[in-house]
């Protein structure tokens, strides 16, 4: 019996004891502190380090607090006082923070197509742009505050590895937040004009003639939308531009806002493919990490740490690509690494409408390359038990070169269908698997329960596979097993077959040709499915760690506590 030992040292370093103070740590940094005061008050006062803009001929400016921070009340920006002008928020000297006592809403929201047309808003760039300088920290005082980038507006948050942009809470800045504290503020909502299948369209997505159905509205209420916090997303422009998020860290989110929604780290509503999202982290959030409501934008280099619900949530026709993503759940909390739906409001639609959406490319069809999920086998958790991937409601995903690993949770009571690696629901999704529209290529699974146990069959009950594991293995994927077929504990040093999470040998990737089954056969033949040059399964190559030095919570030099599996 050949049982290969899987030890790949990716991130070395000693353990760092948990600290009880706040966790803003973006060192080392090299920041250009030159401030453009061309729209500010000038005159060399202390307040001139703070952001400012001109409204009706008057300069509106934040005020310095004497401790290196800048303060902004609701006369600067807030509900009923949305930002209408371009605004630069500079990096402050010595790590100072821009502290907002109200929500930051960029651009107006428009409920109808007629209102949008009258305002001249049809694409990103028609409205104001919020620019955040590399190294800047924005902090919000209360858990009812959040950020909205409205349709037509853009955010240019272009950080650097040595000077990431941090969006967080005042409790983080002042040192009173714990590493896994959530709901300290709301989070970020970015709205665009890209496709959501909650709207009505004519034609086939991506082909000539595709557009909104004549006379219909496409203004979907975004998360948090109510009263003064109202915002909408949606349209027919999959190439829309909502700006840049590069080297951005969003922390301690998920608070319940005015309409009762518990916000995500970032909610992307109808965000188009001209939007650049690279090197993005969501850290300690109560609800989902990132959620895509339709849209077509890509994400490269995504980190999600301590997300209590679903780390990656996909719905309403999102068809972008996620490349290189690392998910690390809490030791005792977190639901799915991926929860994904093909069709919004699926349960309200008849079968003919669902089939029509799929035929015209309106269902979700994401591609995910090089993903590592380290999930917690908790039961029940804040939302639901810790689990791997759930694909449902007509989604057509393609997942390439991935690694999903679970610890064995002491609080799992032996249920056979909670801490699963893989779950495929609903007949349209089963048929996608049968027809090759749902693809799982070069994936290693190591969970407390391998699968949910659904029969994969078409709507005529002609069974193709008895369960998700049979389907995945038929596609060439591997499940970590021992001789008796039981799952292997991926954090138990006594199991040399798949000791993935112990000590300094924490694994965020494996050599692409590594075997984990008793036969010793390698996974695949020549090159990774995604065709990347890394030749690995998972997110991070040992010799090229793209999380350094900007991502928070992973490296001992930039976190508040050690990762639980160390």
Among 33-37, 177-181, 434-438, 534-538, which is the least confidently predicted range? 33-37
Written as one string, the DSSP assignment of 117-163 is HHHT--STTSS-EEEE-TT-EEEESSTT--EEE-TT-EEEEE-BTTB
Structure tokens at 40: 């500010």
Question: Is 90 exceeded by the pLDDT of residue 224?
Answer: no
- Position 225 confidence tier, pLDDT thresholds 50, 70, 90: confident
Crossing angle (nearest 10°) for helices 351-359 and 427-435: 30
Structure tokens at 187: 């989070």
Can you give the pLDDT at residue 523?
52
For residue range 95-117, list pLDDT tens digits in order: 999 999 999 999 999 999 999 99
Between 552 and 516, residue with greater pLDDT = 552
What share of the chain has pLDDT > 90, as a percent? 67
Can you give the pLDDT at residue 227?
82
Can you give the pLDDT at residue 516?
54
Question: Is 90 exceeded by the pLDDT of residue 488?
Answer: no
Across 263-271, average pLDDT: 97
Question: Is 50 exceeded by the pLDDT of residue 152?
Answer: yes
Note whether 229 and 235 are within 8 A (CB): no
* pTM for this model (two decimals): 0.90
Can you give the pLDDT at residue 524?
46
Can you give the pLDDT at residue 418?
82
- Position 4 confidence tier, pLDDT thresholds 50, 70, 90: very low
CB atoms within 10 A of CB 212: 18
Can you give the pLDDT at residue 544?
84
Structure tokens at 508: 């965020």
CB atoms within 10 A of CB 9: 11
For residue range 9-57, list pLDDT tens digits in order: 222 232 223 333 456 543 333 444 444 443 443 446 888 999 999 999 9
Question: Is 90 exceeded by the pLDDT of residue 196?
Answer: yes
For residue 410, give every residue at least 6 positions away whose Cβ sits within 8 Å of its Cβ, in sequence order, or none: none
**Nearest C-alpha neighbor of 141 from the set 95, 182, 99, 105:** 99
Can you give the pLDDT at residue 541?
80
What share of the chain has pLDDT > 70, as a percent? 81
Q: Radius of gyration (Cα) for the chain, nearest Å?
A: 24
Between 499 and 316, residue with greater pLDDT = 316
For residue range 239-258, list pLDDT tens digits in order: 999 999 999 999 999 988 86
Structure tokens at 186: 């709301």
Q: Which residues on neighbouring strands pair with residue 322, listed in sequence order?
A: 299, 368
Can you give the pLDDT at residue 104?
97
Note whether 275 and 302 are within 8 A (CB): no
Can you give the pLDDT at residue 166?
98
For residue 252, give every residue at least 6 positions away whose Cβ sits within 8 Å of its Cβ, in sequence order, or none: 168, 169, 171, 172, 177, 181, 182, 183, 184, 185, 283, 284, 285
């Amino acid at each position: 019996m050949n049982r290969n030992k899987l030890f790949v040292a990716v991130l070395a370093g000693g353990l760092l004891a948990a600290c009880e103070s706040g966790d803003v740590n973006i060192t080392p940094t090299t920041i250009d502190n030159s401030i453009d005061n061309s729209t500010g008050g000038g005159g060399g006062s202390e307040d001139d380090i703070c952001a400012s803009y001109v409204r009706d001929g008057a300069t509106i400016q934040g005020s310095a607090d004497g401790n290196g921070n800048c303060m902004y009340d609701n006369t600067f920006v807030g509900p009923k006082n949305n930002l209408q002008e371009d605004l630069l928020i500079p990096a402050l000297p010595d790590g100072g923070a821009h502290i907002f006592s109200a929500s930051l809403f960029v651009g107006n929201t428009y409920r109808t197509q007629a209102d949008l047309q009258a305002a001249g808003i049809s694409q990103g760039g028609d409205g104001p742009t919020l620019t955040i300088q590399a190294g800047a920290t924005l902090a919000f005082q209360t858990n009812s505050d959040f950020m909205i980038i409205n349709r037509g507006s853009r955010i240019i948050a272009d950080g650097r590895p040595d000077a990431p942009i941090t969006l967080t809470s005042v409790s983080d800045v002042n040192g009173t937040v714990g590493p896994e504290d959530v709901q300290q503020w709301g989070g970020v909502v970015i709205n665009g004009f890209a496709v959501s299948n909650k709207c009505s369209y004519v034609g086939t997505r991506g082909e000539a003639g595709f557009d909104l159905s004549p006379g219909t509205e496409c203004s979907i209420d975004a998360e948090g939308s109510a009263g003064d916090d109202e915002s909408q997303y949606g349209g027919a422009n999959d190439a829309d531009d909502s700006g840049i998020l590069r080297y951005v860290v969003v922390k301690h989110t998920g608070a319940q806002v005015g309409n009762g929604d518990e916000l995500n780290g970032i909610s992307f509503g109808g965000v188009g493919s001209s939007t650049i999202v690279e090197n993005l982290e969501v850290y300690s959030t109560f609800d989902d990490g990132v959620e895509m409501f339709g849209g077509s934008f890509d994400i490269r280099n995504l980190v999600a740490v301590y997300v209590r619900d679903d780390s990656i949530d996909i719905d309403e026709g999102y068809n972008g690509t996620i490349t290189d993503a690392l998910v690390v759940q809490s030791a005792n909390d977190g639901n799915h690494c991926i929860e994904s739906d093909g069709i919004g409001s699926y349960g309200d639609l008849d079968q003919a409408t669902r089939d029509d959406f799929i035929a015209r490319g309106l269902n979700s069809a994401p591609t995910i390359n090089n993903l590592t999920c380290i999930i917690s086998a908790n039961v029940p958790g804040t939302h639901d038990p810790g689990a791997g991937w759930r694909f449902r409601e007509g989604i057509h995903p393609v997942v390439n070169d991935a690694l999903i690993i679970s610890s064995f949770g002491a609080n799992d009571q032996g249920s056979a269908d909670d801490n699963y690696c893989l779950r495929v629901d609903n007949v349209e999704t089963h048929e996608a698997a049968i027809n090759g529209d749902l693809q799982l290529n070069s994936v290693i699974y190591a969970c407390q329960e391998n699968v949910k146990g659904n029969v994969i069959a078409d709507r005529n009950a002609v069974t193709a596979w008895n369960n998700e594991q049979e389907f995945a293995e038929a596609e060439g994927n591997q499940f970590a097993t021992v001789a008796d077929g039981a799952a292997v504990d991926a954090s138990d040093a006594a199991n040399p077959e798949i000791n993935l999470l112990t000590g300094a040998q924490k694994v965020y990737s494996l050599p692409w040709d590594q075997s984990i089954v008793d036969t010793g056969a390698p996974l695949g033949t020549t090159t990774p499915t995604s065709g990347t040059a890394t030749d690995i399964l998972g997110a991070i190559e040992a010799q090229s760690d793209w999380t350094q030095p900007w991502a928070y919570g992973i490296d001992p030099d930039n976190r508040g506590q050690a990762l639980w599996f160390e």
